Amino acid sequence: MPAMLLDLLRAARGAGVVISVAESIDAFRAAEVVGYSDRQALKDTLSLTLGKTLEAKRTFEACFDLFFQREMVSSGETEASSSPRGEPGEAGEHDGLASLSNMLLDNDQAGLAAAMEGAADAIGASNIALFTQTNMFAWRILEQMGLPELDRDIAHLRGEGADEATAERLEAMRAALGTQARTFMERQLTLFSAGTTREIREGALRNVRLSQLDRRDMDRMRVLVRDMAKQIATRYSRKRWQARRGHLDIRRTMRRNMSFDSIPFHTIWKRTRIDRPSIMVLCDVSGSVAAVARFLLMFLYSLADVLAGLRAFAYSNHLIEVSDILARREIDDAIEEVMKVVGFGSSDYGRCFADFSEIAMRNINRNTTVIILGDARGNRNEPRIDIMKQIFERANRVIWLNPEPQSLWGTGDSDILRYEPFCHQVTSCGTLTQLERVIAEMMQQAQ
């Protein structure tokens, strides 16, 4: 039973239920109290122990039901074994047959279920990760149960010619048993491969070009962005808390506690004032660049608790500040509104930089990081390099994220090579992994 419960917890984790080590221990203790005989009581108890939200409880309960359906499938009646159960001693007429043959002839469903479960454990069926492995694992289960011996029994009965009816019956039961094994492995795949499949899919999504993203993957990408931003925010917040507390000043602490025989009842910390960075983000929302801009804004606003003074600007053929839009609405709705107002126009970087200079140039100082997202393709309009130089001289850091591959920089109407001397960092940034790396580096520099 403990092994079974471990498999259940692993399946629940794969389905997306977050289960800590402490919660696993609580689940084992709760299961010991209620026992395993009443399945509904066990399900309710584990749901209360492991589910922290309503969604998590529903996910766990669905996983629980699917997990215990394995026994129902492996012990249910099959087409071949639906004939009346043999009379006592019938199987004894074939004392020379293998145990699997006798279980099939005797319609011993309990024995077959136990044999299939045991074979699955022996071959590590819970390690299945891909649908293409289903038939392979099903075949291994049948081999572990004694399929070679069953085939020899069928050949022997037919070779003698004395019991063709029994041979045909075993042949039909063999085919049904193969169907059962495949069904069993399909359920194993559903139970135990969810986490692995999700990791494979997420790994692919992290590295797909955002401009080529399938709309069906948008929801999963939003979740990925929030998770990645949360990890960065947690790492940065922890370091910022440590920096705010400071380091122990041993000399002053000892001096302060002289009256207590230098026992440090009162500690004194060295503190260094750390100014939180202000961020200005200029996002090109024209054409294919809009997809990357969408996820960059999601990233930055998921970090709102550790970023002060974040100001966002969107541009195509002109530039506007969108900080208020993003602040008063949910991020997805806000981005849609931004796209409607200024998105998908024909790029004019010179005019956009002039708009930015008028709106925000006076607010840029040595504590400001300016992030520009765009392909620098201004349709051969005046690029206004002079404004870019002013931004570079005033800001602490200027980071340009170009969603195009570096091999395309400077080709056609691309002005990125003219802007590059006035940037502290210019990098190709067309995937989620590249975005994450840039944001993490920016946060590290800000400390």
Is the pLDDT at 6 greater than 80? The verdict is: yes
Rounded mean pLDDT, 54-78: 67
pLDDT in tens, 420-440: 999 999 988 878 888 788 777
Q: What is the pTM assigned to this prediction?
A: 0.55
Rounded mean pLDDT, 91-105: 72
Is the pLDDT at 272 greater than 70? The verdict is: no
Rounded mean pLDDT, 53-81: 65
Rounded mean pLDDT, 399-416: 89
For a pLDDT cut of 90, what percent of the chain falls above it? 14
Tokens matching residue 102: 């006798």
Tokens matching residue 67: 């997990």
Q: Distance between CA 388 and CA 421 in Å, rounded? A: 10
> What pLDDT sits at residue 85?
36
Binned at pLDDT 50, 70 and 90, residue 23 comes out as: confident
Q: Distance between CA 216 and CA 221 in Å, rounded? A: 10
Q: Distance between CA 416 and CA 439 in Å, rounded? A: 21
> What pLDDT sits at residue 420?
94
The rounded mean pLDDT for the chain is: 79
> What pLDDT sits at residue 129?
74
pLDDT in tens, 328-362: 887 778 878 888 888 777 889 999 999 999 999 99
> What pLDDT sits at residue 271?
61
Q: Distance between CA 405 and CA 197 in Å, rounded? A: 29
User: Quick count: other Cβ atoms within 10 Å of Cβ 362?
Assistant: 9
pLDDT in tens, 125-167: 877 777 788 889 999 999 999 989 888 888 888 876 667 888 8
Q: What single letter denotes the amino acid at residue 27?
A: A
Q: Distance between CA 311 and CA 325 in Å, rounded? A: 11
Burial classification of residue 92, based on how many CB atoms lie within 10 Å of its CB (0-12 exposed, 13-18 middle, 19 or more buried): exposed
Closest by Cα among 190, 373, 410, 219 to 296: 373
| DSSP classification of residue 276 | P
- In 35-163, alpha helices (H): 39-50, 54-75, 99-105, 109-123, 134-145, 147-160
Residue recorded with tokens 């399945």: 39
Per the model's pLDDT, the better-predicted residue between 212 and 388 turns out to be: 388
Q: Hey, where are the domains in the chain?
A: 2-79+94-196, 277-446
Report how far apart, in Å, the C-alpha atoms of 341 and of each of 127, 306, 313, 443 are.
Answer: 50, 28, 12, 30
Fold of 277-446: Rossmann fold (3.40.50)
For a pLDDT cut of 70, what percent of the chain falls above it? 80
At residue 392, what are phi and psi to the nearest 5 degrees? -60, -40
In 246-380, DSSP assigns E strands to 247-248, 269-270, 278-284, 308-315, 319-321, 368-373
Give Cβ neighbours of residue 321 (< 8 Å, ≥ 6 apart).
311, 312, 313, 359, 360
Q: Distance between CA 323 and CA 309 in Å, rounded? A: 10
Would you say 320 and 266 are in contact if contact means Cβ atoms under 8 Å apart?
no
Q: Distance between CA 66 and CA 190 in Å, rounded? A: 8
Binned at pLDDT 50, 70 and 90, residue 88 comes out as: very low
Sign of dihedral through CA atoms 104, 108, 113, 114?
negative
Report how far apart, in Å, the C-alpha atoms of 110 and of each of 107, 148, 349, 414 are.
Answer: 9, 21, 74, 72
pLDDT in tens, 292-313: 777 777 777 776 656 666 788 9
Rounded mean pLDDT, 2-13: 80
> What pLDDT sits at residue 308?
60
Burial classification of residue 405, based on how many CB atoms lie within 10 Å of its CB (0-12 exposed, 13-18 middle, 19 or more buried): exposed
Is the pLDDT at 84 greater than 50? The verdict is: no
Give the pairing type, strands 397-402 and 308-315. unpaired
> What pLDDT sits at residue 236?
61
> What pLDDT sits at residue 92?
45
Tokens matching residue 62: 């669905």
pLDDT in tens, 209-245: 776 666 666 777 777 777 777 777 776 655 554 455 5
Tokens matching residue 360: 């925000």
Q: Distance between CA 52 and CA 399 in Å, rounded? A: 41
> What pLDDT sits at residue 394?
93
Would you say 285 and 316 are in contact if contact means Cβ atoms under 8 Å apart?
yes
Binned at pLDDT 50, 70 and 90, residue 385 comes out as: very high
Is the pLDDT at 95 greater than 80? The verdict is: no
Is the pLDDT at 112 greater than 70? The verdict is: yes
| DSSP classification of residue 410 | T
Is the pLDDT at 50 greater than 70? The verdict is: yes
| DSSP classification of residue 211 | G
Is the pLDDT at 274 greater than 60? The verdict is: no
Q: Distance between CA 89 and CA 42 in Å, rounded? A: 39
Give the pairing type, strands 425-428 and 397-402. parallel
